[in-house]
Amino acid sequence: MKSLLATDFHFPRQTGFYRGKVRDVYSLEGDLLVMVATDRISAFDVVLPCGIPFKGQVLNQIAAKCLDATGDICPSWKIASPDPMATVGYRCEPFAVEMIVRGYLCGSAWRAYKAGARAICGVALPEGLRENQQLPAPIITPTTKAEQGAHDEDIARSEILSRGLASEADYALLEKYALALFARGSEMAAERGLILVDTKYEFGKRSGEVTLIDEIHTPDSSRYFYAEGYREHFEKGEPQRQLSKEFVREWLMDNGFQGKEGQRVPAMTDEVVEGISRRYVELYEHITGSAFSAAPYPDNIYERIESNVNNLLRRLL
């Protein structure tokens, strides 16, 4: 199966290039960015050796739809998505923290709670909670935005302010926006028979204005439960059916890989790659409520992306 692992474009008035774990980001004059969602996939802070067909399209299109659906809440970096795998937007100066919003107790938060913690990132939690239980109200548990290859770390609001990672006024706005975005995301998920469990938001500043950046509400940045059966599974203490990238991590762990020193990524057979690709398409259709219309991988996919982006840039530059 074909996939897009890397790009090497030279757009008009290009001033810089950055390759992230999944996205290739091009800086242009006029404070513009071109972000190409490749088919690379990462887990445990490691980019896996095989690309996942259609993954880039899935992430780019979910993010575009969700950014458009939340534009009344706060400004975002997005201008347009001229290609299924690319978005053009404004360059912002990012805050060095990620805003993690949790509506349910699971994942790393549950592991910490189970180990005895009753506060996460300075946020107090009541006694008697169980795994996957809905919290009394959504909470924000920020993390540092680590350099590539490093792990993000939990951080409390007080430390964010004391370290000057955000001013008090800006951080109040980050919290306000994050909770409002989570409420909107939860409403959208409920319409699709899903529960938005937790997610992350990233923000930056553009012309002094706090602005939403990167992707939102995608399966790489969010965890969803199926609403049907949630209560029954919870009462029985059973694992929830979920929509997220967790199934990739579980496959890796089942095959002895957790990103630790000395461990090797297990072989990704065609069957494994096709299975992951199908799951991402399933995620798209459940989250958006629309059938996935796959853009094919022609031999000239690079020319297609470049042409579509350049057609938009000619109107912007």
Q: What is the C-alpha separation between 242 and 230, in angstroms, rounded?
A: 10
* Strand (E) or helix (H) holding 307: helix 301-316
pLDDT given at position 45: 84
User: Binning pLDDT at 50, 70 and 90, where does residue 1 land?
Assistant: low
Q: What is the C-alpha separation between 11 and 278, in angstroms, rounded?
A: 32
Q: What is the 3-state secondary structure (H, E, C) of 50-94?
A: CCCCCHHHHHHHHHHHHHHHCCCCCCECEEEEEECCEEEEECCEE
DSSP code string of 151-187: PP-B--HHHHHHTTSS-HHHHHHHHHHHHHHHHHHHH
- HSE, side-chain direction, 13 A CA sphere, residue 96: 13
**Residue 276 in contact with residue 1, Cβ under 8 Å?**
no
Q: Give bridge partners of residue 143 from the DSSP assignment.
A: 98, 154
Q: Of 212, 241, 236, which Cα lies nearest the Cα of 226?
A: 241
Out of 44-58, 84-98, 136-150, least confident range: 136-150
pLDDT tens-digit map of 169-196: 999 999 999 999 999 999 999 999 999 9
For residue 146, pLDDT over 70 is answered with no
For residue 260, pLDDT over 60 is answered with yes
* Strand (E) or helix (H) holding 14: strand 14-19
* Strand (E) or helix (H) holding 242: strand 242-243
What mean pLDDT do residues 137-165 have? 87
What is the chain's mean pLDDT, rounded? 94
Architecture of domain 94-243 in this structure:
2-Layer Sandwich (3.30)
Place of tokens 């939102």: 216
Look at strands 222-226 and 46-47 and give their pairing. Answer: unpaired
Question: Domain locations in the chain?
Answer: 94-243
What mean pLDDT do residues 255-268 have? 92
Question: What percentage of the chain exceeds 90 in pLDDT?
Answer: 87
pLDDT tens-digit map of 38-69: 999 999 889 999 999 999 999 999 999 999 99
User: Binning pLDDT at 50, 70 and 90, where does residue 300 land?
Assistant: confident
Predicted TM-score of the model (pTM): 0.92
Q: Of 179, 180, 199, 178, which Cα lies nearest the Cα of 242?
A: 199
